[in-house]
Amino acid sequence: MTVLISIFASDILPIFVIAGAGFLLARKLQASVKTLAHVSFYALTPCLAFKMLVTSKMTGPQAGRMALMAVLVTCAMGLLARIAAIPLNLSRAELSAFLLVVMFSNGGNYGLPVVMFAFGNEALSQATVYFVTSSMLTYTVGVFLAAAGRRTAGRAILGITKIPAIYGVAAALTVLATGISVPATLMRPIGLLSDAALPMMILVLGMQLEGASIPERPSTVALAVALSLLAAPLVALGLAWLLGLWGTARQAGVVLASMPVAVITTILALEFDVAPAFVTNAVFISTLLSPLTLTPLLAYL
């Protein structure tokens, strides 16, 4: 018990303190979550991805296995969600929302800081690969689900080009492949922006949670939350074993897969009007309950 309390206090509680500050900013000062989300998404996250990969000791095959794990976890959770939804008699919009909240975890705002606090920078580099891959899936598969067939494949593919972190990864891979040295004139501002990424993500998380309300279908929300927090870690542990991921790679992949529901799903649900209240409540409740599952998982890893 002492170990669990120590892990919670050092690795998870700091995130909730910062998220609490974001919650208060939104509640008391009506701060614009959209503006801060844009700053994080367009300016800070690409720099974080670039710095983490350029300074990482990870090899190409390791990055490939981590990306593959993100894809397989997402597919496996989608299959579980579809099976679990059969007896629920959900409408088309509700089914899309249910799949969204189960398939996509909060690897950015929440997962990356937890990995950094618990396992250090090398694990954070591994987690960055998982996060970027998951982001690509969110803006392709996630958009397809939210649009419920109203968006063409071409528009979904075009959406990938609008993910700034992709360009950060591409630039980092170019540097690693060519062996060129990034001048300090560029690396220092990139480093400063990268350092600001994680705290900004957590503030945005707290600000977005401020909009939660009482769920209309609590049993459905409970099932979605249970799949996200209880089934996902087991799926991730099994896939990590199958893919031969160990050490920091296993720690990073399993932790990011086990995060609560991704905040970005609320944006997709609002954009396409697929049960936005259900999605927001799934995000809120899974985030509040996540310390109960993440703390023993971190101790195990």
Give pLDDT tens digits along the chain (301 positions): 777 788 888 878 888 898 889 889 988 888 887 788 788 878 888 888 888 778 776 667 778 899 999 999 999 999 999 999 999 988 888 898 899 999 999 887 789 889 998 999 889 888 988 988 888 788 778 877 777 534 555 665 565 666 677 788 888 888 888 888 889 898 999 999 988 887 887 888 788 777 666 666 788 999 999 999 999 999 999 999 999 999 999 999 999 999 999 877 876 776 677 887 788 889 888 988 999 999 999 999 9
Contacts of 201 (CB under 8 A, 6+ apart): 40, 44, 45, 108, 109, 110, 112, 113
Q: Residue 261 in 3-state DSSP?
A: strand
Q: What are phi and psi of 216, to 5 degrees?
A: -80, -30
Quote the tokens at residue 44: 């800070």
Residue 107: what pLDDT? 83
Residue 152: what pLDDT? 54
Q: How far apart are CA 244 and CA 199, in angstroms?
A: 32
Instruction: Tell if the pTM clears 0.75, that is, is over it.
Output: yes
Q: Are 75 and 140 in contact (CB under 8 A)?
A: no
Outline where 164-228 has alpha helix (H). 164-178, 184-209, 218-226
Strand partners of residue 105: 261
- Virtual torsion, Cα 293, 259, 209, 75, nearest 10 deg: -130
Q: Residue 297 in 3-state DSSP?
A: helix
Quote the tokens at residue 92: 């088309």
Quote the tokens at residue 94: 């509700």
Q: Are 60 and 213 in contact (CB under 8 A)?
A: no
Residue 284: what pLDDT? 84
**Residue 76 burial (CB count, 10 A):** 18
Q: What are phi and psi of 105, to 5 degrees?
A: -105, 160
Quote the tokens at residue 24: 């208060």
Q: Are 10 and 192 in contact (CB under 8 A)?
A: no
Closest to 186 in 3D by CA, of 196, 175, 198, 178: 175
